[in-house]
């Protein structure tokens, strides 16, 4: 019997890639664009599993609602699990599986793309040229070669970013992590304290998971010790940066530029077409007014390869769950403690 799964926050591409990965029909997918939250958990009635994404709410209350509907399995179509209450899941006997690994190149290459766009003002040049304005004033950037990059978090994604910047651009790469990755030394990166990294980097790029320890790690104090005019890139999770402090630092001309693929209150904004609506989030609206800020809608992962892998791993997770096999994608409550 195929497992009946309701896929929340499903866009056309989720439907396409998950359906294609479901070769032997082990899953019956029901797709909905609705986000999972307390109001929508009732939609899980009659399904044994829910399949969720980064902005779905899997807090204790929602877990209880899902359990009451008979859900036994939560399938995350992502790596990060900061939106999941794993203790509640464990208590309720719900298995949570994620996609621990999928093309880290997708995110790493996007982060480097943001650096280049922000530095060389490609986004502004694109608009200017469309208006037949070919002036270069205001578009000046800097050579990345010889400058210093700071990589916060040197796991799968951060280590690739470090390698691209070191070997590809000839940058000096400073790194910070609670656990050293031997790959970093191979491309010439060095580990320093987080303060040393912030003080000495021309570009700081974040590749940490969101945990209680990394929540608002980049706060007013951290921003104040950065080199004046430095650039900050965030493709990890929005709440690692205190956005209000970031805006203040931009206003003070301390931070030179920021590119954000993630935003701490993105749940009500990203993956939706709001072009006909009024956005109430004033902090977000203010961010959009800065000429030296690029915001993208949590798209760093969005490549063909990543979506293929996410869909295939999700279907494999279902197979392993049905066969009672454990795999690296099962999340236990103790993971939270391990990450701390
Ligand atoms: P990873 O687990 O391979 O690497 C994370 C690194 O952070 C690890 O080396 C870990 O030791 C380190 N770390 C954890 N807590 C820390 C702390 N308190 N201080 C310092 N270092 C700490 O993860 P990854 O695959 O490289 O992904 C990194 C993050 O990128 C994910 O957690 C996710 O939030 C984000 N992400 C974003 C997108 C996107 O589309 N924007 C896509 C995938 C992942």
Going by CATH, does the domain composed of 104-295 fall within 3.40.50.2000?
no
| Protein residues whose CB sits closer than 6 Å to any atom of ligand 1 | 79-80, 104, 107, 153-158, 177-179, 207-211, 213-214, 235-237, 261-262, 298, 300-301, 339
pLDDT by position in tens, the chain (length 340): 899 999 999 999 999 999 999 999 999 999 999 999 999 999 999 999 999 999 999 999 999 999 999 999 999 999 999 999 999 999 999 999 999 998 999 999 999 999 999 999 999 999 999 999 999 999 999 999 999 999 999 999 999 999 999 999 999 999 999 999 999 999 999 999 999 999 999 999 999 999 999 999 999 999 999 999 999 999 999 999 999 999 999 999 999 999 999 999 999 999 999 999 999 999 999 999 999 999 999 999 999 999 999 999 999 999 999 999 999 999 998 765 555 4
Quote the pTM value.
Answer: 0.94
* Residue of 153, 191, 212, 335 to test ligand 1 pocket, by largest number of atoms within 8 Å of CB: 153
- Domains 3-102+303-339 and 104-295 alike in fold: yes
Task: Quote the ligand 1 centre to 132 CA distance (angstroms).
Answer: 42
CA 142 – CA 144 distance, rounded (Å): 6
Q: Where in the chain are the domains?
A: 3-102+303-339, 104-295
Contact status, residue 99 vs residue 318, Cβ threshold 8 Å? no
Total residue length of the chain: 340
Catalytic residues: 237, 266, 298
Task: Quote the ligand 1 centre to 277 CA distance (angstroms).
Answer: 33
* Residue of 53, 81, 109, 155 to test ligand 1 pocket, by largest number of atoms within 8 Å of CB: 155
Going by CATH, does the domain composed of 3-102+303-339 fall within 2.90.10.10?
no
């Amino acid at each position: 019997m195929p497992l009946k799964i309701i896929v929340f926050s499903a866009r056309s591409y989720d439907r396409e890639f998950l359906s294609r990965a479901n070769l032997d029909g082990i899953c019956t997918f029901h797709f909905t664009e609705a986000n999972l939250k307390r109001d929508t958990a009732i939609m899980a009635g009659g399904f044994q599993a829910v399949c969720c994404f980064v902005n779905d709410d899997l807090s204790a209350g929602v877990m209880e609602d899902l359990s009451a509907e008979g859900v036994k399995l939560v399938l995350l179509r992502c790596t990060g699990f900061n939106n999941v209450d794993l203790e509640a899941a464990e208590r309720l006997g719900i298995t949570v599986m994620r996609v621990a690994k999928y093309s880290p190149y997708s995110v790493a290459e996007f982060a480097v793309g943001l650096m280049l766009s922000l530095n060389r003002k490609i986004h502004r040049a694109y608009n200017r040229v469309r208006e037949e304005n070919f002036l270069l004033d205001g578009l000046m950037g800097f050579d990345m070669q010889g400058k210093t990059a700071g990589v916060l978090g040197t796991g799968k994604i951060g280590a690739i970013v470090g390698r691209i910047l070191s070997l590809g651009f000839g940058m000096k790469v400073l790194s910070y992590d609670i656990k050293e990755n031997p790959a970093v030394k191979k491309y010439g990166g060095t580990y320093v304290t987080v303060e040393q990294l912030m003080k000495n980097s021309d570009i700081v790029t974040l590749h940490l998971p969101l945990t209680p320890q990394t929540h608002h790690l980049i706060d007013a104090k951290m921003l104040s010790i950065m080199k004046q005019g430095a650039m900050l890139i965030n493709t990890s999770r929005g709440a690692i940066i205190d956005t209000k402090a970031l805006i203040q630092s931009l206003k003070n001309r301390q931070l030179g530029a920021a590119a954000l693929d993630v935003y701490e209150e993105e749940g009500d904004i990203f993956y939706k077409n709001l072009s006909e609506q009024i956005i109430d989030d004033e902090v977000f609206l203010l961010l959009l007014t800065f000429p030296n800020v690029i915001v993208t809608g949590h798209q760093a992962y969005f490549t063909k390869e990543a979506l293929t892998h996410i869909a295939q791993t999700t279907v494999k997770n279902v197979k392993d769950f049905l066969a009672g096999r454990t795999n690296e994608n099962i999340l236990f409550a103790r993971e939270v403690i391990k990450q701390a």
